[in-house]
Amino acid sequence: MIIAVDGPTASGKGTIARALAAHFGLPVLDTGLLYRAVGYQTQLDHGDPDDAADALAACDFPDSLLDDPALRYESTGGLASRVSVHPGVRAALFQRQVDFANQPGGAVLDGRDIGTVIAPHADAKLFVTATPEERARRRHAEMLGRGVDVTYEAVLADIHARDARDIGRADAPLLRAADAMLLDNTALDREAAVAAAIAFVKGKVRGCG
């Protein structure tokens, strides 16, 4: 069983993907982590994330980089959004994601183009979202909890900028698949959102746990 979980930044799609993987006993891949690694490697190489050649060169990052805590930094998320607009970068990471999705037994993948590009044949697809203001509120609280000194206004501006890049890019833009469940969790807590996602997958794939 393949489950695709797409959505904009800070929408809660990663939390839902991990919960689905745990519930159904499937491996999970945060595909955004791959792009964060490319963005961070570009920075380590003193390259320009907006330059296609610099970003493509950074796709040859060591696997050990995926365990670097720096990939979770807010600044790294911005780098990931910038390198992901380059078609060459997306092509370089495409096969790695496809192979993960198609492994025996299935998998859960979360990202921005899973249901439309990486695994259009997924058994269940979800598009997780929330208003930009709510996503910024949650991200701001999370960052303050980690001791990051940042204003809500700055986080909201970054959310809007990332959305514009993700939706507006020519190659594999952020897009809800026609057969994806829309899960707007603006007014839902974590438990309610996860429960809705699990119920959808069970209804979509009869006989699964």
Mean pLDDT score, 144-171: 92
- In this model, does residue 14 exceed pLDDT 90? yes
Any domain includes 208: no
Q: pLDDT class for 209, splitting at 50, 70, 90?
A: low
Q: What is the pLDDT of residue 148?
A: 87
CA angle 166, 170, 175 (to 5 degrees): 50
Q: pLDDT class for 207, splitting at 50, 70, 90?
A: low
Any domain includes 34: yes
Mean pLDDT score, 8-32: 95
Any domain includes 182: yes
Any domain includes 191: yes
CA angle 116, 168, 112 (to 5 degrees): 35
Residues 6+ apart with CB under 8 A from 78: 39, 158, 161, 162
Are 199 and 123 within 8 A, CB to CB? Answer: no
State which residues form the domain around 174.
2-203
d(CA 128, CA 197): 9
> Of 75, 60, 55, which is closest to residue 169 (Cα–Cα)?
55
Count CB atoms within 10 A of the CB of residue 103. 12
d(CA 146, CA 134): 19
d(CA 114, CA 177): 9
Any domain includes 13: yes
- In this model, does residue 61 exceed pLDDT 80? yes
Any domain includes 149: yes
Percentage above 90 pLDDT, the chain: 82
Mean pLDDT score, 57-68: 93
Any domain includes 7: yes
d(CA 49, CA 53): 9
Q: pLDDT class for 30, splitting at 50, 70, 90?
A: very high
Number of folded domains that form the chain = 1
CA angle 89, 7, 170 (to 5 degrees): 40
Are 123 and 14 within 8 A, CB to CB? Answer: no
Mean pLDDT score, 37-65: 96
Q: What is the pLDDT of residue 29?
A: 94
Any domain includes 93: yes
Average pLDDT, the chain: 94
CA angle 154, 173, 180 (to 5 degrees): 105
- In this model, does residue 176 exceed pLDDT 80? yes
pLDDT tens, residue by residue, 80-129: 989 999 999 999 999 989 999 999 999 999 999 999 999 999 999 999 99
DSSP for residue 116: I
- In this model, does residue 17 exceed pLDDT 90? yes
Mean pLDDT score, 135-143: 94
Q: What is the pLDDT of residue 179?
A: 96
Q: What is the CATH number of the domain that holds 73?
A: 3.40.50.300
